[in-house]
């Protein structure tokens, strides 16, 4: 599902003047919403779309661009706020192209797994709780920012930016052992990821294959 129809289907959506929203939700964005407006939209946004209340989704949720075209898909593009918690009883796949949509969640986000791709922007004002894998397929134009703490069984880069994750206010930790390293981005992926999920080079995780495995509930890592 593309982003705008998914957000519109959440229920009542308020259009909040940008200056007001920038004050209300500045703490959820790494450098404030004004910086996001400038970087992603050239400072042209006059309002922010806000859904007030928690969102609960049963099963997997795949949202965002379904094609690499710099256009808005199905309606409004810009900054979208879930003013509350977001829970997905499955894997969330969030893909965006040309920085068309920014998703801000003011509360906690709870997921089975997360794959965030390309130029998607996800800002979380609370904590990020992931039962399984956090997989980054972000480009340099994308961002995942968490104001609270992050827990996941493992964090893996499977995208165009092969570098250590610097996406968190605090280093991600394991839900059962805060001292256990979970950021596997700098680890040799050939020895970490199941062989069938590596790309043609045999050195890096293939994002398309990893996405299919996550959504099918299949393992990605050797251990």
| pLDDT tens, N- to C-terminus, the chain (223 residues) | 888 889 999 999 999 999 999 999 999 988 899 999 998 888 999 999 999 999 999 999 999 876 665 555 445 689 999 999 999 999 999 998 877 889 999 999 999 999 998 888 999 999 999 999 999 988 888 889 999 989 999 998 886 665 545 566 677 889 888 888 788 877 788 999 999 999 999 988 999 999 999 999 999 999 7
In the structure, how many helices (H) and strands (E) does the chain have? 4, 14
Residue 6's nearest CA partner among 87, 70, 85, 61 is 61
**pLDDT given at position 74:** 47
pTM: 0.93
**pLDDT given at position 48:** 95
**pLDDT given at position 142:** 86
**pLDDT given at position 86:** 98
**pLDDT given at position 140:** 82
Residue 133's nearest CA partner among 199, 26, 218 is 218
Q: Where are the domains of the chain?
A: 3-216
Helix intervals (H) in the chain: 3-8, 18-25, 33-41, 207-216
| Distance set, CA 192 to CA 2, 30, 107 (Å) | 32, 31, 33
């Amino acid at each position: 599902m593309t982003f705008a129809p998914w957000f519109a289907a959440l229920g009542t959506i308020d259009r909040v003047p940008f200056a007001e929203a920038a004050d209300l939700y500045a703490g959820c964005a790494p450098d404030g919403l004004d910086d996001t407006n400038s970087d992603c939209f050239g400072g042209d946004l006059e309002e922010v779309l806000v859904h007030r209340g928690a969102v609960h989704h049963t099963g997997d949720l795949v949202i965002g661009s379904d094609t690499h075209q710099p256009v808005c898909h199905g309606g409004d593009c810009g900054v979208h706020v879930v003013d509350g918690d977001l829970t997905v009883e499955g894997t969330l796949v969030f893909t965006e192209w040309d920085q068309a949509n920014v998703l801000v969640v003011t509360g906690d986000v709870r997921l089975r797994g997360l794959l965030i791709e390309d130029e998607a922007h996800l800002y979380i004002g609370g904590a990020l709780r992931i039962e399984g894998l956090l997989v980054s397929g972000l480009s340099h134009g994308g961002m995942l920012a968490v104001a609270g703490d992050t827990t996941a069984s493992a964090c893996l880069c499977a995208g165009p930016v092969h570098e250590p994750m610097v996406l968190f206010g605090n280093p991600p930790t394991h839900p059962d052992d805060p001292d256990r390293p979970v950021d596997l981005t700098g680890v040799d992926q050939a020895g970490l990821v199941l062989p069938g999920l590596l790309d043609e080079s045999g050195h890096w995780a293939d994002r398309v294959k990893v996405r299919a495995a996550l959504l099918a509930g299949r393992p990605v890592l050797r251990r």
